[in-house]
Structure 1
C-alpha cells in the first residue's frame, strides 16, 4: 500500500455532439469534474463525475474545500474506509446529488489507482464476469426527433449489431407516443429491443395508460415513469404493468435501491456510478439486485460503465451515449454492436490531457498536498 500525497481537481465543460431532449429537460452541456490522486510511489489514479448543464462548481467546491484535503495521507487501498469516512464528513449534505457526484470523482480515482497498482483492468479486478456486453443506443431516440428519423436511426443501429434502441416518450398525447413506437417496431421487426424512457414525467394514472399501450409493441422496459421519490406509486405500477419497470438514474444511495427492490417497485435497476457515489456503492447495488434476481442496466457514462457491466453477471446491456470523445485519445471499442471491456490496467479511459487542460474551466482547478 501507499499513502495519497497529492490530489488535483479541475472541471471541463463538454457540449453534446447531438441535441438531447427528453420530457423534462434539454442537455446543453456536460460539466465533468476530474480528480487525480497521486500516491507515495508516484502512481496516479484518475476519476471523474458529471452534471447535465449546472451544479459543477458546487461539486468542485465540495471536493476542493472538504473532501480532497481529507484524503491526503490516507492509504490508497483502504477504499471502503475512505468512502465511509468521506460520507460521514458530509453527513449534513448526504444523501444528495452534489455529495454523491463529488464522492464518485474520488472513488473512481481510487479504483483506477488500485487497478494500476495491481496491473489489472477494472472489469477483472471488480469481478471479471465477461469481456464484452451488448449495446443499446439512446442517441437517436431523443424526444424532439421526428418519427422518420427515429426509424432511420433504429435501423442503422440494428444493422451495426446493436441489441436495441431507446425511445424517449412524453408527448402531449398517448396517441403521439404510440405512433412513434409503432413506426419503429414495424421497421425493426420482432427481434430487436425497443426501450422507452419517460424521465419521471407521468402521474400514476398516465403511467398505467402508457404501460398498457406499450404492451402492444413488446417494449423491453418502461424507464423512469414517475418521480423517483414516489416508491408507493411505483409499487402500484409495477404490480399491474405488462412492461418491466426500470428505475435508478435519479437515485443516490444503496438504501434507496434496497427500498425499491424490497418493495417490489421495479424489475430493472439503472444505478449510475456517478450519482450513487462511485464504484464502491455501485458494485453493492449490482450484487444486491442479483440477490433479488433483478438485472442492472446502468445510466449514461458508457466509458466507465462498460467495465462495471462486464464485472458483474446480471448486467445484460450497456447504454450507448458518447460523453468523453473530445477529451480522450481513443473511443469505446465496439465490435458487432458489442462493447469490449478495456484490457489495460485501470479504468481503461485514454485521457487526452492536452485537450483536458485546454478545456479546463478557469478558476476551478486546484492542487491539494504535494510539493
Structure 2
C-alpha cells in the first residue's frame, strides 16, 4: 500500500458566533496592563482537516485545531512531500521522519500540530486496514464505557452559571469543569468573584459531584499560591493550567503545597516535553492534547511513562481520538467532554465538521465496535457553514 495524496483543508466557520463577554475566561495575556487580551484572542473558529489517500482506496482523516492556516502550510510544504509514495502502515517510521526533518522549527507548536494531524490520519488508515476500531489496536477495551466530565461553565452571571451546572447534573454528569474569569490584575475583587463561581457550582450540584476548575494559564505563581488555600474548602478535583506552560518549576512548587491536585500539559509537546514535567514532579494529572502533542503515536508513549510514575492522564478536549486512547489505557481514568453548543470559542467546532462523535449518556460515552479506524466521517455540504480553503 502506498500514499498517493495528502490533502489539508482549513474549515473556517462563517455562521453565527455567540458574543463573548469580558471575564469570560482568563488567559495568559490577562496580566498585561497594556492592551490585555481576552479569551476572544485565543478563540479558534477555524479547524484543519487532513485526508490521506492510498492506492488501495483506503483513506484516513486527521485534524488539528491549533493555528490551522500555519499548520496547513507545514503539511503542504514540508510533510506531504515526505509522505507521498510511502507505506501508511509504517507509522513509527513516518513519525520519526517528519519529526527529524522539521526539527529546526517543528518540535512544538504548529509544526507538531501538523505532525499530530498526519499521525491521526495514519492510525485511521491502520484501523480501516485491520477492520478494527483504533482502541483495539492500542490494546483493546479496559472498560465498557468511558466516564466523562462536562467541560464548559465559563464565567457568567451566577444564576446562569448555576442553571448550566444543574442542567449537567440532571443529564447524569457526576463531574464537571468550570473556568475562572479573573486573575492577578483584578485584585481582591477578582479573587472574590472567582470564589463566587466555585461556590455557586458547589452549592448547586452538592458534594457528590466532582468539580474541576481551569485558569487557562491566566495566573501567576504568587496569585495561584494565594488562591489555593481559598479554594480548598470547595474540594476541587484539580486546578488546571494555573500558570503558563513553560513554568514547569512553578507547577512543581504548587504541586508540592499539596492543597489541590495540579493539572496541565495541554500546551506541552512530545514525550520529551513530558519527561521534563515528570522529572520536575510538576503535575498530578497530565492533560496533553492528542492533536497537538504528536498524535496517538506520542500519546501512547507519554501515557506509558506517566503510568510508571502513577500519574493520571486525562487528555484535553472531548474528541474521538482522545476516547480511543482513554479506552485502552489504565492510566486514563476519564475523558473530557465538550457539550455541543452554539459556536462561541471554537471548542465545539468538531461537532459541526464530523459525523461519528459519541454523545454522552448519563455521564459516559461508548465507542462502537462496528466502526473501523477512528470512526469519523466529514459531514456533507459544509460549504454552507464554512469557508473551505
**Do the two structures share a fold, i.e. TM-score over 0.5?**
yes
Displacement, 1:73? 1.0
* Structure 2: stretches of 5+ with no match in the other structure: 28-38, 339-347
Displacement, 1:351? 2.0
- Please tell me whether residue 48 in structure 1 is matched to residue 59 in structure 2: no
Match of 2:349 among 311, 323, 348: 323
Q: How many residues align?
A: 356
1:6 alignment partner in structure 2: 5
TM norm structure 2? 0.87
Deviations 1:135-184 (A, max 9, x none): 21122x113x2211221111111111112111111423221111111121
Match of 2:240 among 213, 218, 223: 223
2:101 alignment partner in structure 1: 89
- Please tell me whether residue 241 in structure 1 is matched to residue 273 in structure 2: no
1:267 alignment partner in structure 2: 284
2:33 alignment partner in structure 1: none
1:162 alignment partner in structure 2: 173
- Please tell me whether residue 350 in structure 1 is matched to residue 377 in structure 2: yes
* C-alpha distance in 2 between matches for 1:93 and 1:16: 35
Match of 2:150 among 127, 132, 137: 137
* C-alpha distance in 2 between matches for 1:18 and 1:269: 31
TM norm structure 1? 0.91
Q: Look up the SS of the partner of 1:136 in the other structure.
A: strand
Q: Does the 8 Å CA contact 1:304/1:349 hold for their aligned counterparts?
A: no
Q: Look up the SS of the partner of 2:236 in the other structure.
A: coil
- Please tell me whether residue 22 in structure 1 is matched to residue 25 in structure 2: yes
Displacement, 1:353? 3.7
Q: Look up the SS of the partner of 2:5 in the other structure.
A: strand
What does residue range 276-355 of structure 1 map to in structure 2 within 5 Å? 276-321=293-338, 322-343=348-369, 344-355=371-382
- Range with bigger deviation, 130-139 or 24-33: 24-33
- Please tell me whether residue 109 in structure 1 is matched to residue 121 in structure 2: yes
Displacement, 1:360? 5.8
Q: Look up the SS of the partner of 1:8 in the other structure.
A: strand
2:345 alignment partner in structure 1: none
Q: Look up the SS of the partner of 1:13 in the other structure.
A: strand
Displacement, 1:40? 2.0
Q: Does the 8 Å CA contact 2:127/2:137 hold for their aligned counterparts?
A: yes
Q: Compared with structure 1, are the counterparts of its residues 358 and 184 closer, same or farther at alpha carbon in structure 2 (3 Å cutoff)?
A: closer
Q: Compared with structure 1, are the counterparts of its residues 18 and 121 closer, same or farther at alpha carbon in structure 2 (3 Å cutoff)?
A: farther
Q: Does the 8 Å CA contact 2:149/2:173 hold for their aligned counterparts?
A: yes
Backbone CA RMSD of aligned residues: 1.9
Displacement, 1:359? 5.4
Q: Does the 8 Å CA contact 1:130/1:313 hold for their aligned counterparts?
A: no
Displacement, 1:29? 3.5
Displacement, 1:327? 2.1
* Structure 1: stretches of 5+ with no match in the other structure: 365-371
- Range with bigger deviation, 309-318 or 330-339: 330-339
Displacement, 1:218? 0.3
